[in-house]
């Protein structure tokens, strides 16, 4: 018999509060058209994007995260000192070490929590949420701060007609804490590394250091391949997450997919046969694709505008570079 004392965590976990931060600069499609041969109509028809936010020098990954975190902490009704874990999902923090989570934890006054970064692209929020749930239920932290944050304008090639209009900046954060009822469902997640070339960084940092490319590395993608994968394969994953939670589309109040592209969102809604009463997040129109930040930012906006309300049942799914994905059903805070 094991001599190890069992963990004493909560029976379940829930999202207790949410916060978001969008940079002050709003960038319309007209600015993008200065560097690519396209049109506002083409961009809107292909992506649904009209504007996006780009960060200033002062709106760093840490600064945006701190702003979003403060709102999430206040929304959850806890103090920073109660936070036992900080998880940051990002692909645009350019220091290999230390993790930006440690700086954020210190600057929000969280004391000495476990703090680490993860890199899971546009599925990063789902990955981090799952880890946070495990920490709360296992008992290693009572409250965990989960942050999705990106400055994708730093990784955008403004001359790449396929991607120049897609990306935006921002941060979204949630507090995960204990619950007496299951309010974060089982996660359906995974990866398909054989498709890793469909979304990737153009050059490695090593190649850039050696001076091989003459341009700063950027994110590029094979648009049609990604579209087909997201629409058909991710609809299956979304259905699996509903099945794992013991729910059907009729049980949903809200659908919050990764805000990659309006056509992908609309096609997933159709493939899943979501009822008309389900509110669908379409934050991509004014925020663009913010990768790991897109789901919490969309969640925060739906709650702020009243399109969704506390206690609603929401299906969230993230998918992107890797290719990786994560889907789960949550109760909104």
Residues tagged active-site: 122, 258, 289
d(C-alpha 85, C-alpha 287), whole Å: 28
d(C-alpha 104, C-alpha 300), whole Å: 20
Sheet of strand 143-151: strand arrangement: 12-21, 169-179, 143-151, 83-89, 114-118
d(C-alpha 167, C-alpha 264), whole Å: 15
Strand-pair category, 219-221 with 199-201: antiparallel
To the nearest 10 degrees (0 to 180), the angle between helices 40-47 and 262-272 is 30
Judged by DSSP in three states, 187 sits in: coil
Tell me what percent of the chain is helix, strand and coil, each rounded to the nearest 5: 40, 25, 35
Bridge partners for 28 per DSSP: 51
């Amino acid at each position: 018999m094991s001599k190890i004392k069992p963990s004493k965590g909560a029976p379940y976990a829930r999202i207790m509060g949410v916060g978001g931060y969008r940079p002050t600069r709003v960038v319309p499609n007209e600015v993008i058209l200065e560097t690519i041969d396209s049109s506002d109509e083409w961009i809107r028809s292909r992506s649904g994007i009209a504007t996006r936010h780009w960060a200033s020098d002062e709106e760093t990954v840490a600064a945006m995260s701190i702003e979003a975190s403060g709102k999430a902490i206040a929304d959850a009704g806890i103090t920073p000192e109660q936070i036992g874990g900080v998880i940051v999902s990002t692909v645009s923090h350019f220091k290999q070490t230390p993790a930006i989570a440690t700086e954020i934890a210190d600057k929000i006054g969280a004391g000495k929590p476990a703090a680490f970064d993860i890199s899971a692209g546009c599925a990063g929020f789902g990955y981090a949420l799952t880890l946070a749930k495990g920490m709360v239920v296992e008992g290693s932290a009572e409250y965990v701060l989960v942050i999705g944050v990106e400055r994708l304008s730093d990784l955008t090639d403004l001359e790449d007609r396929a991607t120049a209009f897609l990306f935006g900046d921002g941060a979204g954060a949630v507090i995960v804490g204990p619950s007496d009822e299951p309010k974060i469902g089982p996660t359906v997640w995974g990866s398909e590394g054989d498709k890793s070339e469909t979304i990737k960084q153009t050059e490695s940092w090593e190649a850039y250091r050696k001076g091989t490319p003459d341009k700063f590395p950027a994110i590029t993608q094979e648009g049609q391949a990604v579209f087909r994968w997201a629409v058909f394969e991710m609809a299956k994953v979304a259905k699996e997450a509903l099945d794992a939670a013991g729910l059907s589309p009729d049980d949903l109040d809200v659908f919050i997919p990764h805000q990659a592209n309006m056509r992908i969102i609309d096609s997933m809604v159709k493939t899943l046969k979501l009822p008309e009463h389900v509110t669908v997040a379409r934050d991509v129109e004014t925020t663009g694709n913010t990768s790991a930040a897109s789901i919490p930012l969309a969640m925060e906006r739906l709650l702020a505008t009243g399109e969704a309300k506390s206690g609603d049942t929401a299906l969230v799914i993230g998918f992107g570079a890797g290719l990786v994905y994560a889907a789960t059903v949550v109760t909104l805070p």
